[in-house]
Amino acid sequence: AGAAVAGGLAWAVVADRWFRPERLVVLASVAAVAAALLMVPFGAGASLAVVIVLLSVARSPLTLLDPITLRRLRVTSRTDYARIRLRMSAGWAASAIVSGGVYQALGLRLIPLVYAPLALAFGFWTWRAIKPDSEASSAEPAARAAVRVRAVPLAMVGFLGSCLLLGVSLAATQNFLTLQISDLGGGALLVGAAAAFQALTEIPTMAYTHVLTRRFSHRALFAIGCAIYLVIFVAWAFVSSAFVAALLKLVIGVAFALTFVAAVMIANDLTPARLRATGQALVKAVLFGVAPIAGALGGGIVYQALGPRVMFLAATVVVAGAGLLALVAVRGQRSQANVPAIVATEAAAPVAP
């Protein structure tokens, strides 16, 4: 996780300053193929741990996909980004189901042999279908001259704090929900079903988010998502049925869709045009890198010392702070997306055909 976070931040800086992100994504897919194939001869012990770190570093430029998407969508990004993210969620869900069945039937040693050709196909498709944005490249000098920023904007710092609190609460609750289900009498099947329940609602919510963004600001959607998390955390603290605890993951899918899409769009709004790849990498590093470490550690300590009810209730306080901080930090911030450094001269084209 640490390697992925550091690599993602480093490549984001490179993409903002020197190289086009589309080409970095292609290189990442090729490097990921090479790293994955190393699992075949080095598939056990310390050597496997080293290979996993190499794979994490190789894959880290894939965090540039969000900046690439937002740049290509340009003026329509506020409503169309969720539709693009919907495809990723649907693909992830389908892949998890199919690959899980394949690995259960044929064994886990097939993982690198399945992953490598898929990663290579992704890289080839990216190279053929997503060309570097010529308008963006020609407009970058003007954008850099117009935007002189020596530090991360204060509003962005506040929003990163909100993402940290959200990530901590999610790590604390999601990691130990499996223990809660087990303690209430649920088995492995119910634990697996709980993971699938989230995808069932996350995907349709992603599909509908483009409608919500026309009626609510991104900070409002982020806060609504945090409020939904808060209600579910309270329910988990007092639930006495393993099935009900798992079923509540259906609502978690809605909250995740709202907060994730809103976080990407808020980062795009708050970050200067020449630093948008770095801004997206910072949000992901905090939300999915630093916060899970603190949340898992803190959640484990509280769960063991004081029990699951106290842990879930403590998480409600943390996630409430995340929503309130986002409302305060982003409030009154002028949207960078309304004055983009790159102005489309024709209708925006989708990332995928």
Task: Tell me the pLDDT tens digit for each residue of 124-169.
Answer: 887 887 776 654 444 444 444 444 445 567 888 899 999 999 999 9
What pLDDT does 341 receive? Answer: 40
Contact 293, 172 (CB under 8 A): no
Average pLDDT, the chain: 77
Q: Give the residue-averaged pLDDT of 6-25.
A: 70
CA distances from 92 to 103, 117, 135, 222, 333 (A): 16, 16, 31, 23, 34
What residue segments make up the domains of the chain, in order of their start?
2-74+109-130, 154-336
pTM over 0.75: no
pLDDT at 133: 61
Contact 206, 282 (CB under 8 A): no
Q: Which has more pLDDT, 152 or 329?
A: 329
Instruction: Quick: pLDDT tens for 184-236.
Output: 888 767 777 787 788 788 888 887 887 888 888 889 999 999 999 999 999 99
Q: Residues 53-103: pLDDT tens digits? A: 787 777 777 777 777 776 776 655 455 666 777 777 777 767 766 776 777
Q: What is the pLDDT of residue 1?
A: 62
Task: Supply the pLDDT for residue 43.
Answer: 65
Looking at residue 159, its pLDDT comes to: 92
- What is d(CA 82, CA 13) in angstroms, rounded to the nearest whole number? 25
Query: What pLDDT shows up at residue 344?
Result: 35
Q: Which CATH superfamily is domain 154-336 in?
A: MFS general substrate transporter like domains (1.20.1250.20)
Q: What is the pLDDT of residue 12?
A: 67
